[in-house]
Amino acid sequence: MAAARRAGPVPGGWAAAAMGLAGLLSAALAFGGDGAPFPWQAVRLPKDVVPLRYRLLIHPNLTTLSFAGTAAIEVTVTRQTSAVVLHSKRLQIARAAVEAGHGRPAQEVRVLEQQPLEQVALLAPEPLRAGHNYTLHIQYLANLSESFRGFYKSTYRTREGELRVLAATQFEPTAARMAFPCFDEPAFKASFSIKIRREPKHLALSNMPIVKSVNITPWLVEDHFDTTVKMSTYLVAFIVSDFKSISKITSHGVKISVYTVPDKINQADYALDAAVKLLDFYEDYFSIPYPLPKQDLAAIPDFQSGAMENWGLTTYRESALLYDAEKSSASSKLWITMVIAHELAHQWFGNLVTMEWWNDLWLNEGFAKFMEFVSVSVTHPELRVQDYFFRKCFDAMAVDALNSSHPISTPVEDPAQILEMFDDVSYEKGSCILNMLRDYLTADMFKAGLVQYLQKYSYQNTKNEDLWNSMTNICPTVGTDKNELQGDGFCRRSQQSSSSAHWTKGETLDVKAMMDTWTLQKGFPLVTVTVKGKNVHLQQERYVKGVDSSSPTGYLWHIPLTYITSKSDTVQRFLMTTKAEVIILPEEVEWVKFNVDMNGYYIVHYEDDGWDRLINLLKENHTAISSNDRASLINNVFQLVSIKKLSISKAFDLTLYLKHERQIMPVLQGMNELIPIYRLMERRDMDGTEKQLKEYIVNLFKDLIDKQSWSDEGSVSERLLRHSLLLFACVHRYQPCVDRAKGYFTEWQKSNGTLSLPADVKTAVYVVGAQTPEGWDFLLSKYQMHSFNAERTNIELALSLSRSKDKLQWLMDQGLRGDIIRTPDLPHIIVFVAKTPSGCNLAWMFLKENWEKFVEKFELGSNSIAGIVTGVTSWYSTRSQLAQVKEFFSSLDEKSAGLRCVQQAMETIEDNIQWMERNFEKVKIWLQNNHL
C-alpha cells in the first residue's frame, strides 16, 4: 500500500520558494485571468483524475494570521484530459505545475478559478494520458480563517490575562479546500504526508506521530509527520499551539494523549481514562485493530460543533472534554463520556469505512450516536446511559413529524445542503433505527453483521445497501448448529433455535426490504391498536403534524412490533409489513402496551377504551410497566393530541399519576410535555391560566422537589434528576427552592466565590442569584475567571435568564464580539434569551439585525444557524408573529430563505397557532376541575 512509503523531497527549490511570501501575492492567479471558460460546470468533481497521495508543507504565521503552503499531489489518470479540476477556496495560488515523472521536468500550468463552485482547474499544455501517474505541484498563500472552519485562528487568555493565538483545523464537511487544494469529496481517499513549520515555542500536532523535526533557522522548526493510512480529506487535521498534554497506553498498545491549553491540563484526567477504556472496548467489539499508533484528543478554545473525529487527532470544545472533579456536574461527566465515545466510534464508522457521498452521512453519524450507548453502557455502567437512549428518538420525532423533514438518506449537492444533513434525522433518527434493528436481529447477530461490514469495506466507501447486505447474509457464530446459512445467502433460524421465539419462525430476514422503509422515506409510523376480545387489530399510517395531515397515503413501513399485556410481561414480537394486521392473543387481557421500552421508532394510539385502561394502570400500579414504557406513554399521549386523535384533557388525565413517579425518565418526560405548553401560554396574556398551569406542574413534582437533598450524593441518574428538578423549581419561582438558593448565593457571594457549592445544585443557585443586578454582575465577574471554566454553560444560562433587557442585549452583543463570551457559545445564549418573556423579542431583533454576521461566522446550513432560527421562534403562536417570520426570511437571498430550518420554524409556529386555538379553553377548564 502507498501508505507505507516514506515522503520524498519536494522538487528543487519549491519548498523554499513557497515560503518566500513577498512578491507572490502580486503574481497570484495572474494566469487564467483572461476570461478563458472554466472547463467544468458541475458541483461534483470529474472522476478522470484520482488522487493517490498528498505531500503537504504548511507554514502558518500566528502574528500576521496567514499561512503559506505547498501541495504535491500524486494522481492517477483514468481518462485522458487536459484539465485537472480540484477544490480550492480562498487560497491564492502562486504557481502550479504538472510533473510526469521519469525524470521529466515539471511543466508550469495555467490556473483558472471558479469561485461559486470552490474549484480550480489546472490547464496542462499537453493532455494527461489515461493509465499514467502524475504529480501536481501547487504553491499558495491564504489567511487563517476568521470562522470556525478551514485552518482557523483561535485565541485564549492565560491565567495572567495574556492573549495567546493558536491555529487549528475543522474540515468536515467541505473545508479541507480552505487549507490546501484537494479533491475534497469523501470517496477520493488518499494518503497524506504532512510537514508543518512553526516557532520553537509552539508544538504541532497532526493525524500521525512526528517522525523527525528539523531546525531550519534558530527561530523556525519543521516537523515531519508519518504518512497516514488511506483516508478522506475531511479527516485531515493539524494544530499549531502551545498546548500541554498527558498520556497513557491502552492495553492494545495505542498511545492516547489529551491536549489542552496549559492552565487547564489538570482537567484532562477524566477524558484520558475514558478514552483508554473506550478505545480498548471498540478494538475488542469490532475485532479490528485501531490502525494508527496514537490517538490524540485536543480541547480547542474556539470550536463550533461538539467535537470532530479527525483520524488520530480528535478535536473537542473545551466543555466536551475537560472535567473538573471539584466543580463539574454529573451531566457534564455524562456528556464528556458520550462525546468521546462518539468520536472514537467514528475511527471505525466514518474513518475506516466512509460513506460514498454526504447523502448517506447517517452511516457515519447515526452509527457513532448509536455506538455511544453500546460502548458506554459497558465501559461506564454506573452512568446507565441506556436509560436515556429513547429521548434521542423523541428529539428526532419532533422534527421528523414535520413536512419539512427528509429521509435519512437524501440527495445533496452543494456545501450548504451538505451541512444541513448534520441534523437530528442523521444523528438521532439514524441511531434509533439501528437500535430497533439490533432489537429485531438480536445483539449477537447485529454485531456479527457490523463486523462483517467493517471488515469487508475497510479503507473504502459505502452506500446504504452495503450495510443492509452485510446484515442480511450473516449467521452469528454463536450456536451455528441452530442457524443455517441457506443457499440463497440468507440466514434462517431453524424452528428449534433458542432465539426462534424472537420473530415469526422460518422467515427470511430481508433486512434491506425492512430498512429501506426507514431510510428512504421521511417520517415515522403511527400504529393504531384496537382490542376486540382476543383479537388485536393493528393499522399503520404516517404520523404527520400540520396542515397537510389528511393521512398521507403511499407510506408503508416494515415495523418490528413488540408488546406486553396484563397477563404476560414476556415481550411478544410481530413484524408488521402491511397497512392492517390482526394478532390473536391466547386469552383476553386488561391492557396491552406496544413498543416495549420504546425500542421501536414509532408511536402508538389505543382506540376505544385502550388509553383509559393504561391511564388507570398508571394511577393504580404504575410500576407494573418499566419507567421507559411510562415515559413513552407520556410522550405518545401528547403527540396524539397534536394530530387530533385524543383530547388534551385525556393527556392531562394521564399526567396526574406523575405525583407518585420517582424515576428520572418519566419525570423529565412529563416536564418536557408540560413546560412547553406553559411557555406558549406565558408568551400571551392568558387571563391567569398560565399561572394555574405553572402551579399544577409545580404541585405535580412538589413532593419530589422537597425530597431533594442540596448535595452531590447518589447515583448519576439521581444527581441528574436533582439538577433538573431544582433548576425547574427555582426558574418557576417555587418559593422554598428560591429561598434556599438565595441563601446559598448570599453565602457564596460573601466568600467571594470561594465557597464550594454542590455541583448539581449550582445552576439553580446561580439562576436565582442572577435575578438581582448585583448578583448578575458578580456572576459575570466570576464567569471571566479561569477557576470557573467548568461552569461557563451554567453561568451563561443564569445570565441569560435576567429580567433586564439591557443585560440580555449586552450578553448577545458580547457573544458576537467573542472576547468575554466566546462566539461558539452565542447560539445557545440567544436561544436561552429567547425563552424568557423579556428576551423573546430582543432575540428576534438580534437575529434580524445580525443575520449576515451569523452566516459569515457559522456558515449557511450549519447546525448553529438552524439552532438559532428554530430556537428563537419556537414559542411563537400568533398569526402576526408568523407573518413577521415569513416576511423576514422571504426578504433574504434564495439560499437563506430556502433553508430547512426556516421551513421547520414556520411549520412549528403554524402548529403552535392551531394547538392554542384548539386546546387553550380545554386546558383552562381541565385545570379548574383538577386541583392537586
Known catalytic residues are 343
Beta-carbon neighbour count of residue 384 at 10 Å? Answer: 16
Strand duo 220-225 + 210-217: pairing: antiparallel
Q: Rounded to an integer, what is the distance from CA 872 to the centroid of its chain?
A: 20
Nearest-angstrom CA–CA distance, 435 and 554? 25
Cβ partners under 8 Å of residue 279, min gap 6:
250, 252, 254, 256, 290, 295, 344, 347
Contacts by residues 215-224 (CB-CB < 8 Å, ≥ 24 positions apart): 221/197, 222/57, 222/195, 222/196, 222/197, 223/195, 223/196, 223/197, 223/198, 224/7, 224/193, 224/195
Cβ partners under 8 Å of residue 483, min gap 6:
475, 476, 491, 492, 493, 494, 497
**Is it true that the peptide bond before 200 is cis, omega within 30 degrees of 0?**
no
Nearest-angstrom CA–CA distance, 145 and 897? 26
| Nearest Cα to Cα of residue 679 among 907, 879, 885, 912 | 912
Q: Rounded to an integer, what is the distance from CA 648 to the centroid of its chain?
A: 33
CA-to-CA dists, residue 375 to 310, 337, 383, 744, angstroms = 20, 10, 11, 38
Nearest-angstrom CA–CA distance, 203 and 241? 6
Q: Is the Cα torsion angle 28, 32, 33, 37 positive or negative in sign?
A: negative
CA-to-CA dists, residue 621 to 312, 350, 589, 625, angstroms = 52, 46, 16, 9
Strand duo 255-260 + 244-249: pairing: antiparallel
3-state secondary structure (DSSP) of residue 653: helix
- With contact defined as beta carbons under 8 Å apart, do 164 and 260 qualify? no
3-state secondary structure (DSSP) of residue 192: strand
Nearest-angstrom CA–CA distance, 326 and 333? 12
Q: What is the DSSP string of 456-490?
A: HTTTEEE-HHHHHHHHHS---STTGGGEEE-TTS-
Nearest-angstrom CA–CA distance, 171 and 173? 6
Strand partners, 467: none
CA-to-CA dists, residue 239 to 292, 314, 515, angstroms = 18, 11, 40
Any idea which residue has 385525556 for its cell? 650
- With contact defined as beta carbons under 8 Å apart, do 801 and 836 qualify? yes
| Nearest Cα to Cα of residue 193 among 58, 313, 351 | 58
For residue 74, what is the enclosing H or E element?
strand 66-77
For residue 536, what is the enclosing H or E element?
strand 535-542
Q: What is the DSSP letter of 427?
A: I
Query: Rg of the chain's alpha carbons, rounded to an integer?
Result: 29
Q: Dmax of the chain from CA atoms? A: 92
| Nearest Cα to Cα of residue 270 among 310, 325, 206 | 325
Cβ partners under 8 Å of residue 171, min gap 6:
149, 150, 178, 179, 233, 234, 235, 236, 237, 310
